[in-house]
């Protein structure tokens, strides 16, 4: 998550509740302000800020350190944060519990994981479950082979770029073309390796080829040493709602084997789609 800047507090008219006379209690806005500041603190955490200090929180919120610590201690009491061993604060167990519930609410993990685990053991590589929400492609779950000493690990909940990686391209390929183009034009298209595409027209053309082929293959486009093979998962109505992918070291998955693995990924995507349809029936 990218930390957002502190939001200024603006005067607002008195809050009212529909169907009730009079104004809300005088503490209503204070409660909203406290919630906003708690959210500001939680969004300070990202891949490069796994621990934050009380001083940093005070600076972020524009408040005294004593006030910042009151907010922090409230989050600690609710298990959203915990004190880090070396000082500062890190995310707490309650956040992990909410993340687990969020994955369950999608209904995908329970349906997909048995097939994903079987595929991971078959191809002896990491298998990912991803979905797109707006301009974000998120890793919902993963399965890993127990037979590999070296594994490729993508954290659950991590966001993937729109223009690189087999899963992102599959999810865009089955979106309406005008929507895919709009998302790509609005996004910051980073070049991760020399093979990464950053030209919108070239990407849109590639999405058409992926639709015709039925799956996507990327080699060294997001990570130099990684090959990705991804296929779409469909809902009961045929809409693409997620993607299942194999992520493998390029040294272990030669180009000659791509087509064979792709057929296995397609088969698993079909299995998961059928199970989703049965679950929705």
Given a contact cutoff of 8 angstroms between Cβ atoms, the answer to whether 29 and 15 are in contact is: yes
* 195 and 67 both lie in a single domain: no
* 147 and 260 both lie in a single domain: yes
Share of the chain above pLDDT 70, in %: 84
Asked if residue 244 has pLDDT above 90, the reply is yes
Residue 134 pLDDT: 81
- The two tokens of residue 108 are 């995908």
Q: CATH number for the domain including 200?
A: 3.30.450.40
- The two tokens of residue 128 are 């990912």
Poorest-pLDDT segment among 8-17, 232-241, 258-267:
8-17
Instruction: Identify the domain boundary among 91, 112, 136.
Output: 91
Q: What residue numbers bound the domain in which 58 lies?
A: 1-91
Asked if residue 106 has pLDDT above 60, the reply is no
Output the DSSP codes for 119-171: HHHHHTSEEEEEEEETTEEEEEEEE--TT-SS-----TT-EE-SSSSHHHHHH
Phi, psi of 200 (to 5 degrees): -65, -45
Mean pLDDT of the chain: 83
Neighbouring CB atoms inside 10 A of 206's CB total 18
Residue 130 pLDDT: 94
State the pLDDT confidence band at 149, using cuts at 50, 70 and 90. low
Asked if residue 21 has pLDDT above 80, the reply is no
Instruction: Identify the domain boundary among 91, 116, 133.
Output: 91
pLDDT digit string, tens, across residues 176-232? 999 999 999 998 899 999 999 999 999 999 999 999 999 999 999 988 889 999 999
State the pLDDT confidence band at 69, using cuts at 50, 70 and 90. very high
Number of separate domains in the chain? 2
């Amino acid at each position: 998550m990218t930390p957002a800047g502190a939001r200024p507090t603006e005067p607002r008219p008195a809050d009212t509740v529909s169907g009730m006379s009079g104004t809300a209690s005088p503490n209503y806005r204070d409660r909203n302000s406290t919630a906003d500041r708690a959210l500001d603190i939680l969004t300070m955490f990202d891949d490069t800020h796994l621990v934050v200090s009380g001083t940093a929180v005070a600076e972020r919120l524009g408040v005294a350190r004593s006030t910042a610590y009151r907010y922090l201690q409230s989050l600690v009491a609710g298990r959203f944060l915990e004190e880090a061993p070396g000082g500062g604060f890190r995310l707490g167990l309650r956040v992990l519990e909410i993340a687990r519930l969020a994955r369950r609410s999608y209904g995908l993990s329970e349906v997909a994981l048995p097939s994903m685990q079987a595929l991971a053991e078959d191809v002896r590589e990491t298998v990912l479950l991803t979905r797109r929400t707006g301009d974000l492609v998120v890793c919902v779950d993963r399965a890993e082979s127990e037979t590999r000493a070296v594994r490729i690990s993508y954290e659950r909940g991590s966001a993937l770029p729109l223009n690189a990686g087999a899963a992102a391209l599959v999810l865009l390929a089955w979106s309406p073309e005008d929507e895919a183009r709009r998302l790509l034009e609005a996004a910051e298209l980073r070049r991760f390796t020399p093979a990464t595409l950053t030209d919108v027209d070239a990407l849109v053309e590639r999405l058409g080829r992926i639709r015709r082929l039925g799956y996507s293959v990327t080699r060294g486009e997001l990570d130099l040493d990684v090959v990705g093979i991804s296929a779409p998962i469909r809902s009961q109505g045929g809409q693409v709602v997620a993607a299942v992918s194999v992520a493998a070291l390029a040294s272990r998955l030669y180009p000659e084997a791509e087509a064979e693995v792709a057929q296995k990924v397609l088969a698993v995507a079909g299995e998961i789609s059928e199970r989703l349809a049965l679950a929705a029936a």
